[in-house]
A and B are shown apart, each in its own frame.
Chain A
């Protein structure tokens, strides 16, 4: 315990601030950016059935791909490994062999194959201090190795940062590959992409239900912009609001029982709250102007939104009953698409600076504004990862719009899609 504390503290700092990663660890491909060096030797078959089909290698590939995606780790090339015949337990690990090649973290696994499943015994070590941080057992179906791999990768991130990773989550987004805007979903690592809507119209603004089983979105398929709910399990779809005028930009409350959205059936475009079936509209704003893009605080007590009441679009927050309105952004003349962070303390948004849009984040009291992207094309539609350490967004930095993710301080950026046509407006699923 004595040794544990300072190490955990350092590792937590690693997670919170990538500036610290740079200070301590090995520099890799991108200059000025460093990752935590970690070694993951081949998983060891401790059972009796030989792994002739290479299941353990497939599992490891999922884990390594996840760890690479999050940008925290540098996975050491196995060719550099020195340790021979090392075991799983702390006493059987030769920490010297691992520290010599620069590893500071070590992940080992022993597996047993059965007819339709694989059991994994996972050990995570701190090489420098020479102790075991975590030990866990997993069991998973051989035809669903990805799910198990994401769980293992989440545990590894938790061991080194104090909090689980985002692996196994999904993105909903808009693709223009058919020529129309349609909603798609994919796993955060780019796998399992699937088209959700076949509206042949304009589908916009997808958001996830808090349980991750449904999408709420805006579509012109019945002429006007209306709100629809699409059940991802059954494929059923139903209209939630088809009132005259606008029915756009909806967001489920964290408890899933209310829907905030913009309606204009009473004249101007105002924020309303509907019940989960789209009835009983309660008007929250009353400015006779533009009020759009509601985003709930994680506790459901407040809503961030965009209003032009001050002469141009800016981010505001209000209580969920419409009272206590406060303006959050004052810098720039065009700030839109607010996304309230899962930790509750910040709002990400996109703002126009000169020619282009960039992503910013700001404390909810309007202080501590940070610019996260810097004029490489248009950067828009920020959406936080469920644990709040990353932001997905779309950017035209490589020509047409594609999806990217970045650390919440903007230092680490990674492209997620290669659509060749256009992918935009991502929203991150719950865990």
Chain B
């Protein structure tokens, strides 16, 4: 009887551990730390200052999320930090040893950075003619749940396509606009919209897109695509849009 009971408790505890709580991303954290160290060794703090600082910041964020047991957020930040460190390291190395086929601005670093990117379906013809503030048909928006900024599986698929397009159109920079539905305060929604834009940006960095090609802005709930006051409208308004800058 006693044994049965403890077995049941053990089973329940195991279930909770396995199913209920996301596992802490210790491996991703360690890799992010290692990547940052190797960027530092390569001289990134001075040679690729901006990227290195972003990587540092992102790792601090990941560490804070670990403390708060927000493991999904921690994993995302760790993965982004690792990628930023790799970019910073590559840039630093290139700048240390110039002459080796002068890399142009905006070229994504070599290595495994392109892994996981599904090529975009279409390359825009005459990419030089892209004006500022243009929404490109191939760059589809991604959508979010209410009061949420996490990237869904569907959103990931769209972001992979968008990343593929950006790799093909390497001179194009985009601004990711975060938007929200009309519910809640203007200020909270501006902050939420920024998180949404940064979520997409971080994921695209993880996919290997050069961070300098991706800026963000939040319009909160101020620029709805659908002015309606119902769930139909709200679903469409909780989005990131990609606009050529």
Binding site for B on A (CB under 8 A): 181, 202, 204-205, 218, 220, 223-225, 245-246, 248-249, 262, 264, 266-269, 286-288, 290-293, 306, 308-309, 312-313, 334, 336-337, 350, 352, 357, 380-381, 425
Interface residues of chain A: helix, strand, loop or mixed (majority): strand
The answer to whether B188 touches A292 (Cβ under 8 A) is yes
Asked if A248 and B187 make an inter-chain contact with CB atoms under 8 angstroms apart, the answer reads yes
Which residue of chain A has the shortest Cβ distance to B63 in the bound complex?
A: A288
A293 CB contact (under 8 Å) in B61, B183, B185: B185
CB-based closest 5 A-B pairs = A249-B187, A336-B185, A269-B191, A290-B191, A292-B187
A220 to B186, CA, bound (A): 13
* Contact present for A313 and B187 (CB under 8 Å): no
Please determine whether A381 and B185 come into contact, CB atoms closer than 8 angstroms: yes
Q: In the complex, how many residue pairs between chain A and chain B have their CB atoms under 8 Å apart?
A: 86
In the complex, chain A residues whose CB is within 8 Å of the CB of B219: 202, 220
Beyond known contacts A223-B217, A269-B191: 17 more, CB 8 A cutoff:
A220-B219, A220-B222, A225-B190, A262-B191, A264-B194, A267-B61, A286-B64, A288-B60, A290-B188, A292-B188, A292-B190, A293-B187, A313-B188, A334-B184, A336-B185, A337-B185, A381-B185
Write the nearest CB–CB distance from B196 to chain A, whole angstroms.
11
Which chain A residues lie closer than 8 Å to B194 at the CB level? 245-246, 264, 269
The docked-state distance in angstroms from the alpha carbon of A223 to that of B64 is 31
> Cβ of B191 and Cβ of A380 under 8 Å apart?
no
| Contact yes or no, B61 A268, CB < 8 A | yes
Known: A267-B61, A287-B64. A248 touches B190 (CB 8 A): yes
B185 touches A288 (CB 8 A): no
Segment 45-80 of B: residues with Cβ below 8 Å from A: 57-58, 60-61, 64-65, 68, 73
Query: Is B218 in contact with chain A by the CB < 8 A criterion?
Result: yes
Interface contact B185-A246, CB-CB below 8 Å:
no
Q: How far apart are the CA atoms of A313 and B187 in the complex, in Å?
A: 11
Q: Point out the residues of chain B lying under 8 angstroms from A290, CB to CB.
A: 188, 191-192, 195
Q: How far is the CA of A288 from the CA of B76 in the complex (A)?
A: 13
Query: Is the CB of B138 closer than 8 A to any CB of chain A?
Result: no
Query: Which residue in chain B gives the minimum CB-CB distance to A355?
Result: B183
23 contacts between A and B (CB under 8 A): A220-B219, A245-B194, A248-B191, A266-B57, A267-B57, A269-B195, A287-B68, A288-B61, A288-B64, A290-B192, A292-B187, A292-B190, A293-B185, A293-B187, A306-B187, A308-B147, A334-B183, A334-B184, A336-B184, A336-B187, A337-B185, A337-B187, A350-B185
